[in-house]
Each structure stands twice: as C-alpha cells, then as structure tokens.
Copies of this chain bind each other. A is one copy, B any other.
Amino acid sequence: MYRSHTCGELRIEDKGKQVKLSGWVQKIRDKGFMVWVDLRDRYGLTQLIFDDERTPKEMMEKASQLGREFVIQVSGEVIERESKNPNMPTGDVEILVSELKVLNAAQLPPFTIEDETDGGEDLRMKYRYLDIRRNPVKNKLIFRSKVAMEVRKFLSEKGFIEVETPVLIKSTPEGARDFVVPSRMNEGQFYALPQSPQTFKQLLMVGGMDKYFQIVKCFRDEDLRADRQPEFTQIDCEMAFVEQEDILNTFEDFTRHLIKAVKGVEVTEFPRMTYDEAMKKYGNDKPDIRFGMEFGELNDLAKNKGFNVFDQQELVVGIAVPGAASYTRKEIDKLIEWVKRPQIGANGLVWAKFNEDGTLKSSVDKFYSEEDLKAWAERTGAKAGDLILVMAGDGHKTRTQLSALRMHLGNELGLRKAEEFAPLWVVDFPLLEWDEETNRYHAMHHPFTSPKPEDIQLLDTEPGKVRANAYDLVLNGNEIGGGSIRIHDKNTQAMMFDHLGFTPEEAKAQFGFLMDAFQYGAPPHGGIAFGFDRLVAILGGQETIRDYIAFPKNNSGRDVMIDAPARISGEQLKELNLKVTQ
C-alpha cells in the first residue's frame, strides 16, 4: 500500500495518527538542523518535517538530497504545526517523518511546476505531462470532466439515450475537408473520419430512438486558424417529433442547468434575435450581449451634408462608447490605428464627443452642426460623457469591422466579464449562402437543414432570401451550439441537393441511404450540437480552448510531444496499396 491518505486530506483532527503519504516533492526548505518538504499530489499539499532532534541522521541526509519532482513515499505522525498556514487546507498540520522512500528520482524539469511557470508554450506542449502537473492545467481538465458528467446527467434524466456512432465512415464532398483512412481489406477504398455524426443521428431518429445524444470526437482537415484543433469534441443531440420551439426550450434548460451546476450562476433570460437583427444591431451573428454599444445606422442623418467620404458609401454606422468622451486625441488615434490594421482593414473612424456639459464636438465639425450630432447621439444611444465612433463603407464589410471594434472596446473597457453569462438564441438563419469562389450556393448550416415553409416558394427566384429553421446558441460572444429542424421527406431533400448543385446521381451516391430512410417512415426531427471544447473554456471563463484539451495539437496539426504525424514503413504503405508521391 502506497498511502493511507492523500496529500489534501489531513486536518488538525488527525493529530497523532500514523499515516503514509506518496507524492511529488513540490518544495524543499533546508535549514541544516531542519528540513521541510511540501509533498504534492492531485488532491493538495502536505508539509513534511525532518529535524535533527527527532529524525535519524541518515534520514536527515536523505531528505536534504531530495530534489524537486522526486516521487517519494513517507510514513510518520501527524503533528500540529507551530506556524499554521491558513491558506492551505492542510495548513494546521505537518508530518513528522519516520520513514522515507524514494520511489523515483527526477531530473530537473525543463520549466517550473508552479501555477505561474517560466515555460513557454512550445516547451510546455513538448512536456505536456509536466504541464498537466500544474494546478491551472490540471484543474481545467478536472473541470472539463465535471462539465461532461453534468451534461450526461442532465440529458439522461431528460430521456436522451447516449448512442455511439461510427468513427470510420464515408467521405462526402459537402462541408470541410475530411480526414481519410485507407482500407487494407477493401483495396483502393477509404473510410473518412466524421466531421459530425449528422446523418447517423438522423437515422437514429428514423430508427425511433426519439432522443439521442453523444459526447463525441469529430474531425476536420482544415488549415488551422488559431485555437482550432483537427480533432475536437461535440455534444451532439437530436430529438424526434419536435418543432424549433421544443429544441430551444430543452436546450435553454440544459444550458441554464450547466451554468448553475458548474459555476453556481443563475441565468434567467435567453433572449432571441433573428440573424438579420443581430447583423444589423451588432454586425455579427454571435453578438456578445453582456454589454450594449448597439449599432446606430446613420445614412439618413449623415449623408448629403457635404461630407463626400460618407456620401459615396453604402452604409454609415456608429456606436456610442460609454464614458469615452474624455478620451485624448492620442487615445482616439490609437483606436483609428487599430481599425486600420490589416486584420480589420477599415479606412478610419469619424468621432463625435458628447461632452459631460452637453456640448458635442466631432472630427467632422466642418460638415455637421451640433444639431446633426445630437441626432447621431440619439440614434446610437449616446449619453453625455460618451464617445460616438462612426464607420462608413460597404454594408457587410463595414458592419464586420465595426463589430470587431465593438468587441475590442468591450475587452478594453472590461465589459466582457468572465463570471457573467449572457446567452442568446440567434434564429432564422439564411438557408443558403453564395460562395464567390465556387460560384454557387452552399448550405449555411448543412444540406439537411429545412427551409421555413413560408419561404420555400422563394427557392427558385431568390434563394438567398430563404430562411432556414436554424438556430445558434451564443454565449458571451461565442457560438457554443448550433442546429436546425431537419428535412424529413425525400422530395424536399432531393430538391435541396438540386439547389446545392448535386446531380441526382451524385446525391444518390453520397446520401442515397438517407433518402431511402426517409421513405420508410421518418418522423419530423431536429437537433443541436455544442462545441464542447469551446463550451468548457467559456464556462471556465477563458476564450482559448487549448488548455482544456489534455493533449492538444499545434497550429500545424502536430502533436509535438509524441511527434505525430510521422512517416510509416514501406511495408505499411504496400499493404495499403499506397504510394507517397512526394
């Protein structure tokens, strides 16, 4: 037996007990006549004491030779500490060691195993197993498992059945690029790894499973933007005999429960907003509504007043920055520089100060009277003390740029509070979006999303205007979940494939099994999928997912710890009937 207690367990009530502990040496203080060791395991720290009055000489020597991260086992008596540490759960006691055994020595780790470490990102990834010893990383992984457990508990209690869907499936041309897996037993053929279990969960509904969920790994072979992983985890859900309203209600309860269970925060409101409204008010289909700064469109107020820059543009739009009328010229210039960066790409900003004394002053006073500026203030919701920032240009682009500025200011002004949770349903997404590159319409969600019945008539004439029974759940400016009511009859599905540019033969080859299934009694159904990595990070109050993944890959899709991917043997390639061409 390696231990009688963990390192986080002993209290003053245990005084006098003989105990055995095992763990890692966190810290050693050696005063010659006395040696203190902080012993660490997953559960906490316990102080060990050796002193030359009570500890045999050889053990004193052995203790003073211990190094950081040595794995040791000790036996001893729980005694009361002379100077207690109220910040440590075990801080009232220490162990007077009577037996010391080194279970494994340790080299000096390449970075310190402390809450704040000196190791850079690359080093910490290479030695991820050491990084995991650090509380911030360890606690994030424990938090993740707690969230997963709560997800399962809630959904199980609501009658959802967790069903495992296959990982070795078939490549489809729609969506992102698939990872493929050559099949040795079926020469020249490949499996694909799922981007989501979409068709399988729909087939489970056709199969009468009624309520399905799964926490499941999904895969996308995409060029990795920052904070994207080639393998990621989804909470995948589907329900039969439901309308959009049923799904929204169910997953509102779900999200409310999660936030309460893991953060202790009560969220009451789940407001809803159409896609059009979100784009108009926030320039963004996943607005952070923890703070205001809603867009005010100024076309009627700002055009045709002699200011050419505005006159030529499609859209003039502004926001009011609370309390920023006092910004210096330098501070405003910094914002102008910020929006001009290539990542944002705006031409500049027009500003107007709504001073505390009620006067208004702008960078375009030549063209606009104080009356004009007052109208701007009213439109953007600016109050005395606020700064109005205005952009102009092409509609979609300008909204996107102003949205980025709004988020930037939200961060700068501390309006995006990690412990505040503001969910939002965005509904009525467009069914299709035009893709300039391929010169055709793509499904905005996926080809299985149903159009709103009242819009179907527009499919032939104005396909871009057809709205879908699709919804996203947004939390604090991040899309945490998205879903739709699916198509459940063969004809609509065939029509959809047709509009997406599939020939009937292609549609049959790729998705014939699904369209066949719809002929044998498919119920109306719909669902939602949550990005689990992102959800956990946001619940944890962070926006980067990497620390919530035990063994993440870097931006080139590499696992630098195990050094994967790697070359495989010629024999393996031969068995797979493959040749590497470069």
Given that A145-B161, A579-B579 are contacting pairs, would A168 and B553 also be in contact in the complex, using a CB cutoff of 8 Å?
A: yes
Asked if A180 is at the interface (CB within 8 A of a chain B CB), the reply is yes
Per-residue CB contact flags for chain A residues 228-242 toward chain B (1 = under 8 Å, else 0) read: 001101000000011
Q: How far apart are the CA atoms of A349 and B522 in the complex, in Å? A: 57
Query: Which residues of chain B have C-beta atoms less than 8 A from A439's C-beta?
Result: none
Complex interface: stretch among A201-209, A278-286, A447-455, A460-468? A201-209
- Which single member of B138, B203, B521 contacts A208 (CB below 8 Å)? B138
In the complex, the answer to whether B207 meets A128 with C-beta atoms within 8 Å is: yes
- Chain A: how many interface residues by the 8 Å CB criterion? 123
Given that A565-B191, A577-B581 are contacting pairs, would A223 and B185 also be in contact in the complex, using a CB cutoff of 8 Å?
A: yes
Of all chain B residues, the one with the shortest Cβ separation from A567 is B189
Q: How far apart are the CA atoms of A254 and B236 in the complex, in Å? A: 28
Query: Which residues of chain B have C-beta atoms less than 8 A from A98's C-beta?
Result: none
- Which single member of B69, B551, B575 contacts A520 (CB below 8 Å)? B69
Asked if A367 is at the interface (CB within 8 A of a chain B CB), the reply is no
Given that A24-B521, A520-B109 are contacting pairs, would A41 and B208 also be in contact in the complex, using a CB cutoff of 8 Å?
A: yes
Q: How far apart are the CA atoms of A559 and B185 in the complex, in Å? A: 13
Copies in the complex: 2
Query: Which residues of chain B have C-beta atoms less than 8 A from A579's C-beta?
Result: 578-581
In the complex, the answer to whether A164 meets B549 with C-beta atoms within 8 Å is: yes
A13 to chain B minimum Cβ distance, whole angstroms, is 21
In the complex, the answer to whether B132 meets A207 with C-beta atoms within 8 Å is: yes
A437 to chain B minimum Cβ distance, whole angstroms, is 15
In the complex, the answer to whether B520 meets A127 with C-beta atoms within 8 Å is: yes
In the complex, the answer to whether B521 meets A243 with C-beta atoms within 8 Å is: no
In the complex, the answer to whether B188 meets A184 with C-beta atoms within 8 Å is: no
Given that A2-B242, A22-B523, A128-B207 are contacting pairs, would A565 and B163 also be in contact in the complex, using a CB cutoff of 8 Å?
A: no
In the complex, the answer to whether B550 meets A41 with C-beta atoms within 8 Å is: no
Given that A71-B523, A200-B550 are contacting pairs, would A188 and B580 also be in contact in the complex, using a CB cutoff of 8 Å?
A: yes
Query: Which residues of chain B have C-beta atoms less than 8 A from A523's C-beta?
Result: 22, 24, 71, 103-104
Per-residue CB contact flags for chain A residues 91-119 toward chain B (1 = under 8 Å, else 0) read: 00000000000011111010000000000
Complex interface: stretch among A169-177, A263-271, A332-340? A169-177
Asked if A30 is at the interface (CB within 8 A of a chain B CB), the reply is no
Q: How far apart are the CA atoms of A551 and B188 in the complex, in Å? A: 23
Query: Which residues of chain B have C-beta atoms less than 8 A from A3's C-beta?
Result: 241
Asked if A193 is at the interface (CB within 8 A of a chain B CB), the reply is yes
- Which single member of B69, B188, B209, B556 contacts A141 (CB below 8 Å)? B209
Within 8 A of B (CB), among A499-524: 513, 517-524
Asked if A167 is at the interface (CB within 8 A of a chain B CB), the reply is yes
Asked if A43 is at the interface (CB within 8 A of a chain B CB), the reply is yes
Within 8 A of B (CB), among A530-582: 549-551, 553, 556-559, 561-569, 572, 575-582
- Given contacts A42-B209, A168-B553, A579-B580, could you give 20 more A-B pairs where the C-beta distance is less than 8 Å? A24-B208, A104-B521, A127-B520, A128-B207, A129-B204, A129-B207, A130-B207, A132-B204, A138-B207, A163-B550, A164-B550, A167-B167, A168-B559, A169-B562, A181-B565, A185-B224, A186-B557, A186-B558, A513-B562, A577-B580
